[in-house]
Structure 1
Amino acid sequence: MANSDFRPVYHPAGHDNDLRVALQDLRTGRWMSMRTLLESTPDWTLWTQRTQVLGAIAAGSDAVQAWLAEDPRSVAATVMQARVVVERAVRAHREGHHRAQELWQEAWQACRTAANASPADPVPWVCLLALSQLDERQQLEEHRLHPPGPMLFPGPWGLLAEADRRDPCNREAYHRMLQFVYARKAGGSLSEAVNFVQWAASSAPDGSALHVLPLYVRVERYRREQGHEKALDLHWVTEDAERDAARALELWFRRTTPISHSLLDLNHLAHALWGALQFAEAATVFEELGPYFTSVPWVYRTRGRKGPGDAEDVFLRARSRCLAAPRTPGRGPHR
């Protein structure tokens, strides 16, 4: 797929073909495929990923409500209802909608209902973490607990601990915590974000997606500093940047199976390795991405233009450069 005819595509399901089928049905208001998919989902990692993607699509319809009306005792439907109302509350807050506070309260209650219905499930707690970013001034006590380590901030550490207890190092839980950092009125500084992701990654086991977290903060710093107006490559070839990219490659990408890989994580890793001039290593990540890409983080490397086509152009240039790089024998993915 290195030829000039290649064009990347975005699809929220990525390589998850079963999820793709469920999404197709969900977009037409049908929920049976979603129920079948969730009933056959084997672990919390995939469960979290699938419910997140399904919730984002279902938030625009009444499909989950119809499922609950048909089967009010369904645990999966109850969890999906929490996903849907949380997604709606977050969107309303972002858009300044007049019902944002009402939707927040409705979502909080739906999360508690889901937690009671599915006590071993991390997703209701992940959803509560998603809602925590709406409390920008940390007025709720559960959003300003004392941190578990030095150099960290008061925050919803109890919610993160509940998610962690059910699914250690749950990827979405830690990303939601990072979003909370950015939303804090009392802080929201990049130094807090750096301290958090370094703390999270330092205790994460091999194979954990938390090793990719530092790459997200580096992209956020570049975005805030308007990096496209500065020397483009210098931000990505520092010793710290190269180290973060190498650790994510070795401790996450090379020690896990593709089914567990988020498209966003793969794009951030390919982007970081390309920026660090590690073209051969980046090529293996591009190959795993196959036809898929996400506009973030590539959109921040477009020198001020922000259209999806511009992000795609940057992705294609990076992909072509990396796939053309000579490979060192024996340095493929270690699976």
Structure 2
Amino acid sequence: MPGHGFRPVFHPAGHDHALRHALQDLRAGRWGEMARLLEETAATGHWDGWTRRTQVLATVAAGTDVVHAWRAEQPDSAAAAVMHGRVAVERAVRAHRAGHAGGRALEQEAWTACREAIERVPADPVPWIGLLALTALGARRPGAPHRVRPPAPMLPPGPWGLLAEAQRRDPYNREAYHRMLQFVYARSDGPLSEAVNYAQWAASGAPRGSALHVLPLYVRVERYRRDRGHEHALDLHWVAEDAVREAGRAMEDWFLFCAVPEASQLDLNHLAHALFGALRFPDAARVFEALGPYYTTAPWAHRTPRPADRTLAEEVFLRARARCLAD
């Protein structure tokens, strides 16, 4: 129930308390807990947790020299090599978004770091995911590399070989498919028909319990952001027949089968948002309950007149949560 005084919490670790502890150590300039966490994660043999944790750690480590210090202390560490690639990619992506003059040099550094990680740990999908992320930065450059024929009609040419390498190591890796989606977005500012086709293709081939069933919900939010603006909190975009169908499939083919504590907060927020928009309030309530105190600004920010204002995004989240949990 929507308790009085409930305040949502934004934290990249979410329910992952071990990751939270490692992030605290990392922010203090230490790498020991990160190394221990990744050693334990690698021992499980589950690439989904490895991918998620290395990605979150890199978002914090990219603003520090901690991974550099770790590699200096443990030059033979495979995990440190992977994190070096992660951090290099994160810095290149940030520089590209900010339009920094040195962005191309950072891209090359990241490319080299990922290739070195591939040589060090050939079975790891994460360095291949890093290469996928870098292709989106040059998606519109003439003669961009890694443009190959797509695996199905209605899909654009692109770095499908890189996606296949990640898929070979970890079938249906969530981040790999999201990185490919970012490439598709980057090809054009126009209609998102290619992205729609891609998300439907990815979801249709994914097994039950796969987070790829949430991909169409991301594309629907992006379509709204690009084409419809932010004038109305609820409009026909969210209750159209295909929108309701996409929300239902994500609920039935992913949420009901996934390990919720290990699920992406972004995926859970996109699903809660889609079910709320589709007026499926009881189903949305189950997702809000699974989220607990945690939330992400996206996609809620895109229902506000000022998406950069996190306070407005939080207000929309709280209203939606209260409405759904009131039933």
Q: Residue 90 of structure 2 aligns to which amino acid in structure 1?
A: E
Structure 2 counterpart SS, 1:256:
coil
1:222-262 per-residue CA deviation (whole Å, 9 max, x = no partner) reads 11123422583211111100100000001000011113310
What corresponds to 1:333 in structure 2?
Answer: none
What corresponds to 2:28 in structure 1?
Answer: 28
The reply to whether residue 88 of structure 1 matches residue 78 of structure 2 is no
What corresponds to 2:138 in structure 1?
Answer: 135
Give the CA deviation at 1:188.
6.0
Give the CA deviation at 1:21.
0.1
Q: CA contact under 8 A between 2:224 and 2:237: conserved in structure 1?
A: yes
Rounded Cα–Cα distance in structure 2 between residues aligned with 1:110 and 1:315? 39
Q: Residue 75 of structure 1 aligns to which amino acid in structure 2?
A: A
Q: Structure 1 stretches of 5 or more lacking a match?
A: 326-335
1:73-128 per-residue CA deviation (whole Å, 9 max, x = no partner) reads 00000000000011001111111111111111110000000011111100000000
Give the CA deviation at 1:142.
3.9
Q: Residue 298 of structure 1 aligns to which amino acid in structure 2?
A: W
Rounded Cα–Cα distance in structure 1 between residues aligned with 2:208 and 2:195? 22
What corresponds to 2:17 in structure 1?
Answer: 17
1:3-30 per-residue CA deviation (whole Å, 9 max, x = no partner) reads 2200001000000000000000000110
Map 1:156-305 onto structure 2 (within 5 A).
Answer: 156-185=159-188, 189-229=191-231, 232-304=234-306
1:146-205 per-residue CA deviation (whole Å, 9 max, x = no partner) reads 1110000010000000000000000000100111111115x7640000000000000000
With over 3 angstroms needed to count, the CA separation of the structure-2 counterparts of 1:188 and 1:119, relative to structure 1, is farther
The reply to whether residue 148 of structure 1 matches residue 148 of structure 2 is no
Q: CA contact under 8 A between 1:228 and 1:303: conserved in structure 2?
A: yes
Rounded Cα–Cα distance in structure 2 between residues aligned with 1:208 and 1:291? 24
1:267-312 per-residue CA deviation (whole Å, 9 max, x = no partner) reads 0000000000000000000000000000000001114464111100
Q: Please, what is the CA RMSD of the aligned residues?
A: 1.4
Q: CA contact under 8 A between 1:51 and 1:80: conserved in structure 2?
A: yes
Rounded Cα–Cα distance in structure 2 between residues aligned with 1:20 and 1:304? 30
Rounded Cα–Cα distance in structure 2 between residues aligned with 1:179 and 1:257? 25
The reply to whether residue 76 of structure 1 matches residue 66 of structure 2 is no
Rounded Cα–Cα distance in structure 2 between residues aligned with 1:297 and 1:142? 32
Structure 1 counterpart SS, 2:230:
helix
Give the CA deviation at 1:140.
5.4
Q: How many pairs align?
A: 324
Q: Structure 2 stretches of 5 or more lacking a match?
A: none
Structure 2 counterpart SS, 1:57:
helix
1:57 to 50, 56, 60: 60
Q: CA contact under 8 A between 2:54 and 2:83: conserved in structure 1?
A: yes
What corresponds to 1:331 in structure 2?
Answer: none
What corresponds to 2:309 in structure 1?
Answer: 307
With over 3 angstroms needed to count, the CA separation of the structure-2 counterparts of 1:132 and 1:211, relative to structure 1, is same
Rounded Cα–Cα distance in structure 1 between residues aligned with 2:92 and 2:173? 22
Give the CA deviation at 1:53.
0.3
Rounded Cα–Cα distance in structure 2 between residues aligned with 1:138 and 1:63? 33
Structure 1 counterpart SS, 2:5:
coil
Give the CA deviation at 1:134.
1.1
With over 3 angstroms needed to count, the CA separation of the structure-2 counterparts of 1:80 and 1:231, relative to structure 1, is closer
Q: TM-score, normalised by structure 2?
A: 0.96
Q: Residue 103 of structure 2 aligns to which amino acid in structure 1?
A: A
With over 3 angstroms needed to count, the CA separation of the structure-2 counterparts of 1:305 and 1:131, relative to structure 1, is closer
Rounded Cα–Cα distance in structure 1 between residues aligned with 2:131 and 2:190? 19
With over 3 angstroms needed to count, the CA separation of the structure-2 counterparts of 1:222 and 1:273, relative to structure 1, is same
1:306-325 per-residue CA deviation (whole Å, 9 max, x = no partner) reads 41111000000000010011
Q: Residue 24 of structure 1 aligns to which amino acid in structure 2?
A: Q
Q: TM-score, normalised by structure 1?
A: 0.94
Q: CA contact under 8 A between 2:22 and 2:37: conserved in structure 1?
A: yes
Q: CA contact under 8 A between 2:216 and 2:246: conserved in structure 1?
A: yes
Rounded Cα–Cα distance in structure 1 between residues aligned with 2:84 and 2:307? 37
